Chain A
Amino acid sequence: MIRKLSMLMASAMLLALPAAPGSAQTTLNVATAGDQNMVDYINDYLGPKFEAANPGVSVVAVGTGPGDSGSLKIFEKLDAQAKAGVEAWDVDVAVVHQRGAAQMLASDLLAKYRDEIATGKLVTRDTADNALGADVGGYVMPMFHSQIAIAYNPAIVPNPPKTYEELVKWVADNPGQFGYNGIKGGMSGVGFVMGWVEAMTGESEKLEKGPYDPALKAKIEEALAAMKPFNAGVTMTPGNAGTLDMLNRGEITMGPVWVDMFYTWVADGKMSPEIKLAIIGPGLPGQPMYYIIPAKAASQDLARKFVELATSPEVQAEGIVKRFNWYPGIDAPHVQSQLDEATWAKLFTDVTPDDLATKGKPFPLSDYFTEILETYERVAN
C-alpha cells in the first residue's frame, strides 16, 4: 500500500515538473568554441542580459574547447544530427572559428540570417564575408576580432625587431630568448608560422585570397626549411598560455601571443604590465569568431534575437571591448561612439589602428593552411 502510494506520488511529481516554473520556460542553447573566457562571456554577461530582456528564456552556454578542435566538435554534433534526420537541432546559436564556419557551410548546416537581423548592416569588413576563402556572407556575424602580436620585454629589448627578417637576426644574436609554441600547442604559434610563410614567400596575396595554386608548394617548402635553423635558436613553449607564462617569468623576452589573452592576463594580474606588444611586418594573422545559427536550430527566432543583441553597438562596446579586451566584431565606428576615449585608447595602446589595418592579416586559405602545417612537420622540426 505504502509502495503504491509512493509510486503514485512520484509519478504525480514527475507530471508536475514541467509545469512548475509557472510560465513556459524556453532554453536557448549556445555552444561556443574557444577558451574558458568565451563561456564566461556568455554566462556572466550576455546570457543574463538576454534573459532579462526576454522573460521565460534561459540561456545555457556550453564550451567545446579551444582552437579549431572546439569548432570541429560543434560541426560534428550538427553534422550527426543532420545525418540522423533530426528536425530540431539542440544547438540554437554557436560561436565558431573561420575554418569551422567554412566547414559547416560546405555541409549545408548554416542558416542564412544576417540580412534578417537589424545589426546585419553594421559589418562591412572582408572577414564577415570571407572565411579562409569560403564565401560565408550572410551566414555569419563576427563576434569579435582577435589578433596575434609579438609580446616583448622593453626593459631588455628596447628596440624590438620590426619585421620577420630583423627577428631572424635578433634570434641569431640572442639564442633561446624568443619563444613560441610550435604548431601543436595552440593558434598563436600556428599564426606565427603562417606569418613566417607569408613573409618569406612574399606571396601573401595568393595565400590569403587564392585561388589555390599547387605551384606554390615548392616555395612554401623552401620558406619552412629556412625555419629549421631558426627553430634551433628559439625556445619552444608549451601552449599559448605557456608563452605568456615564460614571458612573465622572464625565461624568454619575446614571443607571439593573442592580444586579447595578453590584456586579460595583465588585467588579472597574471602578466607584468611592463610587457609590450608589437605586430612585426609584413604582418601577423588574426581572426574573427563568428556567431552562426544552425539551419535547423530549435529556436530560430530567439537565436536571431540573441545574435542581434550580441552584435549591437552597445553590447560590442561594453562586453567585447571594455570587459574582454577583444577588438569589436562589427565596424569600429559604431562601437567607438559608445565608449569613452580612455577605454578606446587602452585597446590601441601598443597596437595602433593603423598597425591593425596594415599588418593585421587573415589566415591563409584552408588548402594552404593545411599544406603549411604538413610541410612544417616534415621540414621545420
Chain B
Amino acid sequence: MNASRTDAEAVRPARAAPTVSEPSPAPRRLPESVWALALLAPSLLLLASLFLYPLSLSIRSAFTERGGDGGTGNFGRAFDLYGGDIVFSGAVACLTVAIADILAIAIAGYLTLGRNQTAVAWLRWLYRWPLFIPFVVAAQMMRSFLAKNGLMNNAIVGLGLLEPTQTVGFLDWRGVIVTFVWKQLPFVTLIVAGAMASLDRSMIEAARNLGAGRLRVLIEIVVPQIRGPLVVASVLTFVTLMSVLSVPMMINAGSPTMITVDMAYRITSLSDYGTANALGVISYLMTAAVAWLYLRQGIRRDGVPP
C-alpha cells in the first residue's frame, strides 16, 4: 500500500509536471502557432493561388469536351494524335537523365578523387557555366552549332577529319538530347559533387590503401553513398525537361516531338485548350510517377524519405 502510494507519488510529479507548468507556457504557445501559421500563410496562399487553383482549372478543362460537357474526348485525341510524342518525351527525358547522371558522376568523381590539382581547379571553374544560360539561348546556339553545315561540322571538315558530303546534321532528337544534357549536366554535377565532398574520406582512403583503383573506388565506394542526392537531382532534371518548350521547338523539326510543342500548337494554332490540358495532365502524371518512385524508394531504404 505504502509502496504503491510512493509509486503513485513518484509517478505523479513526472506526469503532473506538465500540468502544473502548463498554465505559464500556454499563453506563449498559442501565439507561437499563430506565428507559425502567419509565416506559412504567404507560401500556402501562393501554392493555392498559383499552383492548386490553376491545376484544378487545367484538370477541369482537360475533362471538358468541345461542347462543354464532361468527358474524356480530349484524352482520346491526345493519345490518338500524340501517343508517339508522349512516349518520345518520356524517352528523351529518361535518356537525358541517364547520360547527365553518368557524366556528372565522372566529373564529380574527378573533382573528388583527381590528383592533378590544376585540372581539378579548371574543371571546377568550367563545369558550372551552362547553369547560367537560359534554355532558349542554349537552343539557339545549338541550332547553328549542330546543323549539317554548322559550326561543329565545319570545324571537323576544316580539320580534315571528314568530307563535307559525309557530315550529318543533328537537328533532331539527338540535338535535343545534346542540348538538354549540356544544360542540365552542371546542375546534376553541382548536387553530386557537393554530396561527394561531404563524404567521410576515411573510407575512400581505406579502399585506396587496400589497393583499389580510383575508378573502382568511385563506382563501389563513392556512388553508392551519394545515391540519395543523385536520385533527387535526376528527378528534378526529369521534371525540368518535361516542361521545356524552346529546345524541342527550335531544334527538333518534324515528328515525333515533345508534348510541350504539341500543347503550344494546340493552343496557338487551334485555340484548343482542352487537348492541350489533357496533354498537360498526362505530363503531370508522368512527373508524378517519377516523384512517387523516388519517394517509395526512399521510404523502403531508410524508413523516411531522404
Q: Are B147 and A251 touching (Cβ within 8 A)?
A: yes
Please tell me if B47 contacts chain A, counting CB pairs below 8 Å: no
A69-B268 contact in complex given A236-B254, A381-B255, C-beta closer than 8 Å: yes
Contact with A along B253-270 (1 / 0, CB 8 A): 111110001101101111
Q: Are A373 and B143 touching (Cβ within 8 A)?
A: no
Q: Please count how many residues in chain A sit with their CB below 8 Å of the partner chain's CB atoms.
A: 28
A370-B270 contact in complex given A238-B171, A251-B169, C-beta closer than 8 Å: yes
Q: Give complex CA distance A44, B76 in Å.
A: 48
Of all chain A residues, which has the CB nearest B270?
Answer: A370
Interface centre among B143, B150, B268 (most CB of A within 10 A): B268
Q: Give complex CA distance A249, B149 in Å.
A: 6
Q: Give complex CA distance A183, B268 in Å.
A: 12
Q: Are B80 and A236 touching (Cβ within 8 A)?
A: no
Of all chain A residues, which has the CB nearest B269?
Answer: A68
Of all chain B residues, which has the CB nearest A236?
Answer: B254
Residues of B within 8 A of A374 (CB): 81, 270
Please tell me if B214 contacts chain A, counting CB pairs below 8 Å: no
Q: Which of A67, A237, A249, A381 contacts B253 (CB 8 A)?
A: A237
Q: Are B147 and A72 touching (Cβ within 8 A)?
A: no
Q: Measured between C-beta atoms, what is the minimum distance from A201 to chain B in Å?
A: 21
Q: Are B149 and A182 touching (Cβ within 8 A)?
A: no
Q: Which of B143, B254, B270, B271 contacts A182 (CB 8 A)?
A: B254
Residues of A within 8 A of B250 (CB): 238-239, 242
Residues of B within 8 A of A233 (CB): none
Interface residues of B in 233-267 (CB under 8 A from A): 249-257, 261-262, 264-265, 267
Q: Give complex CA distance A378, B169 in Å.
A: 27
Please tell me if A250 contacts chain B, counting CB pairs below 8 Å: yes
Q: Give complex CA distance A184, B276 in Å.
A: 14
B: interface residue count bin: 20 to 34
Interface centre among A183, A184, A377 (most CB of B within 10 A): A184
Residues of B within 8 A of A245 (CB): 143-144, 147
Q: Are B150 and A249 touching (Cβ within 8 A)?
A: yes
Q: Give complex CA distance A184, B262 in Å.
A: 8
Of all chain B residues, which has the CB nearest A248?
Answer: B149
Residues of A within 8 A of B169 (CB): 251
Q: Give complex CA distance A81, B249 in Å.
A: 32
Of all chain A residues, which has the CB nearest B268?
Answer: A69
Q: Are A67 and B269 touching (Cβ within 8 A)?
A: yes
Q: Are A249 and B269 touching (Cβ within 8 A)?
A: no
Q: Measured between C-beta atoms, what is the minimum distance from A179 to chain B in Å?
A: 8
Contact with B along A360-371 (1 / 0, CB 8 A): 000000000010
Q: Are B253 and A69 touching (Cβ within 8 A)?
A: no
A72-B253 contact in complex given A184-B261, A378-B81, C-beta closer than 8 Å: no
Please tell me if A271 contacts chain B, counting CB pairs below 8 Å: no
Please tell me if A204 contacts chain B, counting CB pairs below 8 Å: no
Q: Are B147 and A249 touching (Cβ within 8 A)?
A: yes
Q: Measured between C-beta atoms, what is the minimum distance from B85 to chain A in Å?
A: 10
Please tell me if A200 contacts chain B, counting CB pairs below 8 Å: no
Q: Which of A183, A235, A238 contacts B143 (CB 8 A)?
A: A238
Residues of A within 8 A of B150 (CB): 249
Residues of A within 8 A of B80 (CB): 378
Interface centre among B144, B150, B270 (most CB of A within 10 A): B270
Please tell me if A181 contacts chain B, counting CB pairs below 8 Å: yes
Q: Are B147 and A69 touching (Cβ within 8 A)?
A: no
Of all chain A residues, which has the CB nearest B169?
Answer: A251
Q: Give complex CA distance A249, B169 in Å.
A: 12
Of all chain B residues, which has the CB nearest A251?
Answer: B148
Q: Are A238 and B271 touching (Cβ within 8 A)?
A: no
Interface residues of B in 251-306 (CB under 8 A from A): 251-257, 261-262, 264-265, 267-271
Contact with B along A182-195 (1 / 0, CB 8 A): 11110000100000
Please tell me if A302 contacts chain B, counting CB pairs below 8 Å: no
Please tell me if A275 contacts chain B, counting CB pairs below 8 Å: no
Q: Measured between C-beta atoms, what is the minimum distance from A230 to chain B in Å?
A: 13
A184-B270 contact in complex given A238-B250, A238-B251, C-beta closer than 8 Å: no
Interface, chain A (partner B; CB < 8 A): 67-69, 72, 181-185, 190, 231, 235-239, 242, 245-246, 249-251, 370, 373-374, 377-378, 381
The 5 closest A-B pairs by CB, nearest first: A236-B254, A69-B268, A236-B253, A381-B255, A249-B149
Interface, chain B (partner A; CB < 8 A): 80-81, 143-144, 147-150, 169, 171, 249-257, 261-262, 264-265, 267-271
- Given contact pairs A67-B268, A184-B249, a sample of 20 additional A-B residue pairs in the complex whose CB atoms are under 8 Å apart: A68-B268, A69-B267, A69-B269, A72-B267, A72-B271, A190-B269, A236-B255, A237-B253, A239-B249, A239-B250, A245-B144, A246-B147, A246-B148, A249-B147, A249-B148, A250-B149, A251-B147, A251-B149, A374-B270, A378-B80
A and B contact pairs by CB, cutoff 8 A, 12 listed? A67-B268, A183-B269, A184-B257, A184-B265, A235-B253, A238-B253, A239-B249, A242-B253, A249-B147, A250-B149, A251-B149, A381-B256
